[in-house]
Structure 1
């Protein structure tokens, strides 16, 4: 009888091992860590979902201890060697002394930080939602002091993506921020389609046929109730030249000629999104700037303005 029992236990253990081993084999893993400063670390993660190594930079306190994490996403043209948040704003200096991990993915050109239905000939195999919501958080929490409390935010494309990811994974985030972003996929669909197509990608490879079920499945406005109870911050300018257009910068003309009309469209879209949330009784803070274009100086201002709300929600 004892031999039979041992044999059954061994068989069960073998079956459990056979089921569990693929999960272990397919887990994301850190392949390299580079300390860039006492408060900034580059982490290179092998993503099974995307079958590539993804760099993530973390802004963090100099000391130890556990802390919440703020995933901060880039725009359509993300940095190549670092997030544009650290080379176009004062984010690194701003977060000094704050008890939070600021998690900055590097890459994701025109990806909308989502899982694409099909590999795209221009962009490759994008599976950003899986990476950001399944593969990366256990690494941040297990190896870099994260305590499991998270917020997510971003600008423009990254802001839309932050709300999409939060609506699809509401258990993961306590706060969401979007700067110059309109997270109403139906309203912003023409801009999303154009932004991908103009960069050589096929928008139907992302969520399937335009305005089909896949696009509706990624529309926070349709499932805004999932955002209830979170701290929500959305900002936009009007597109009219503002105080930062008085600064002499190399991109000044582009900010006015291109960033002005883009921001005006975002403004109109955000007004509609606010009406949608109000109609559903979902509280959110909308920061309307009377002036300002679609440009980094304003997103730096938004980062500062939103932090008391975001930081408080995650206990940072």
Structure 2
């Protein structure tokens, strides 16, 4: 990889100069239209989704040692889809720091805000066409595997709304991910509480219409996609489920490293973030009860404090790493 930089990626076998050697195409015609070498470890891919008829950025951090095929961690952002400042890269030191010496491809798609990364039944006047389950389960993996020369072993992790998504994706294609980590997600989609969370995200924050996802609230499609109802499909995966209690904790301090700025920011994090986290805690315990009833093992972390905020997700990712790494084989 001449002209890009030094380090372990200098001998990266997938790259010639600033171009990817492979040019894979998914079964439906999805493809990588461009690759930008950001530095010697990081690549931004532009991926055309045939299902959505649009191109989306996908950020990749290559393994510390890329000389042999390595596994892939799909790391999902929250409700804003990484299109805002609320992302793993901007709010934590997980990607560039903690994962910096790990032999894993870290893949972060950018896009799909307020969509819950689902395959919506209808195009939304505000949020457009959303076919994200297809993107994640059928379009993107063969492109990542083909272009990056991976070993085909995958794990997935996500926060907040994506804490729901990682479970629905794993249930949609159970053979795709070996490990799944869900931080502060509500695993319920078919009951009133779960739908209230989704309505808050899709309609209040996103301006879309929730019925365009899976129809009216009594539609059987909601149950068909509900992670708790379909928990049996998680059998055999390495699972990590976490949520704080909603009570303020160590990262809820005025102008702290993971706190929204100023007194208003702190109050918002404690009040709104506390209410949301208490709700996800309820959902996560319901998922735990269902998994336990089915005899499906999982690792849980339900600390006595913690709001819906980045300091706790930073901590939870580190706690979950042994579970993720076990599935990834590293």
Residues 200-244 of structure 1: CA deviation (Å, up to 9, x unaligned): 111110112213111111112122111111101011001111000
2:285 paired residue number: 271
1:84 matched to 2:91? The reply is no
Does structure 2 conserve the Cα–Cα contact (< 8 Å) formed by 1:182 and 1:269? yes
2:243 paired residue number: 236
Q: TM-score, normalised by structure 2?
A: 0.85
More helix by share: 1
1:94 to 94, 98, 107: 98
1:314 matched to 2:314? The reply is no
1:257 paired residue number: 271
1:146 to 147, 150, 172: 150
Q: TM-score, normalised by structure 1?
A: 0.89
Residues 272-292 of structure 1: CA deviation (Å, up to 9, x unaligned): 221111111111111011111
2:78 paired residue number: 75
1:294 to 304, 308, 313: 308
Residues 121-168 of structure 1: CA deviation (Å, up to 9, x unaligned): 010011111111111101111011221111111001011000001011
Does structure 1 conserve the Cα–Cα contact (< 8 Å) formed by 2:26 and 2:142? no
Does structure 2 conserve the Cα–Cα contact (< 8 Å) formed by 1:83 and 1:106? no
Does structure 2 conserve the Cα–Cα contact (< 8 Å) formed by 1:73 and 1:154? yes
1:191 paired residue number: 197
Cα distance in 1, alignment partners of residues 222 and 174 from structure 2:
18
Shift of 1:40: 1.4
Residue ranges of structure 2 left out of the alignment (5+ in a row) = 1-24
When Rg is computed on C-alpha atoms for both structures, the one with the higher figure is 1
1:116 matched to 2:130? The reply is no
Does structure 2 conserve the Cα–Cα contact (< 8 Å) formed by 1:235 and 1:287? yes
Cα distance in 1, alignment partners of residues 284 and 47 from structure 2:
35
State the aligned residue count: 294
Structure-to-structure mapping, 1:36-75, within 5 angstroms: 36-62=38-64, 63-75=66-78
Residue ranges of structure 1 left out of the alignment (5+ in a row) = 1-22
Residues 89-109 of structure 1: CA deviation (Å, up to 9, x unaligned): 112211112111111010111
RMSD: 1.7
1:18 paired residue number: none
